[in-house]
């Protein structure tokens, strides 16, 4: 049992601003950077200490989210709703080209989407679309745009 004694004392590096543990070294600024809020102010403490701080600020314990995308709303959408979402998205063409870079570009929105979903169903790639949309919406929240034009 003595061997596990030091386990919890391993220091953690966290963001001084939002207490996130998602710290990554950013080459451009030659410093550690918080992936959640972009702050380059990081602190080190024991896990215990950090947990306490986190709880004080957020009023609940930090829980490790598994981030299972299959549990997200987009995976619960019926196919028709999924079609609707892509149809209404102003980036619908980018979404299609992200999955099929060589998708014919001359078609209108309705025809493109019929063809697109036909292909997706046939290739069994509906989950690819769902994952793509998931990232798309997530990044919208950050004001960033993740669905990029594919320059194939």
The site for Zn ion, by CB under 5 A, has a size of 8
Q: Distance between CA atoms of 133 and 111, rounded to whole angstroms? A: 20
Q: Which of 116, 88, 89, 121 minimizes the C-alpha distance to 102?
A: 116
Closest approach, Cβ 19 to Zn ion, in A, equals 7
Q: Which of 20, 40, 72, 135 binds Zn ion (CB under 5 A)?
A: 20
Where in 72-101 is the site for Zn ion (CB under 5 A)? none
Q: Distance between CA atoms of 109 and 117, rounded to whole angstroms? A: 12
Where in 28-57 is the site for Zn ion (CB under 5 A)? 34, 36-37, 39
Facing residues of 23 across strands? 34
Q: Is 17 in the site for Zn ion (CB under 5 A)?
A: yes
Name which of 37 and 134 has its Cβ closer to Zn ion: 37
Contact residues: Zn ion, CB under 5 A: 15, 17-18, 20, 34, 36-37, 39
């Amino acid at each position: 049992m003595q061997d596990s004694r030091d386990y919890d004392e391993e220091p953690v590096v966290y963001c001084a601003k939002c207490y996130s543990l998602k710290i990554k070294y950013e080459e451009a600024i030659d410093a550690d950077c918080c992936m959640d809020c972009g702050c380059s102010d990081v602190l080190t403490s024991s896990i215990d200490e950090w947990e306490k701080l986190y709880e004080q600020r957020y009023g609940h314990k930090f829980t490790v989210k598994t981030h299972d995308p299959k549990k997200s709303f987009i995976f619960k959408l019926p196919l028709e709703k999924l079609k609707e979402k892509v149809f209404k998205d102003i980036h619908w063409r980018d979404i299609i080209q992200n999955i099929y870079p060589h998708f014919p570009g001359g078609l209108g929105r309705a025809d493109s989407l019929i063809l697109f979903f036909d292909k997706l169903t046939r290739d069994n790639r509906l989950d690819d679309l769902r994952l793509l949309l998931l990232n798309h919406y997530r990044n919208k929240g950050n004001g960033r745009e993740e669905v990029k034009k594919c320059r194939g």
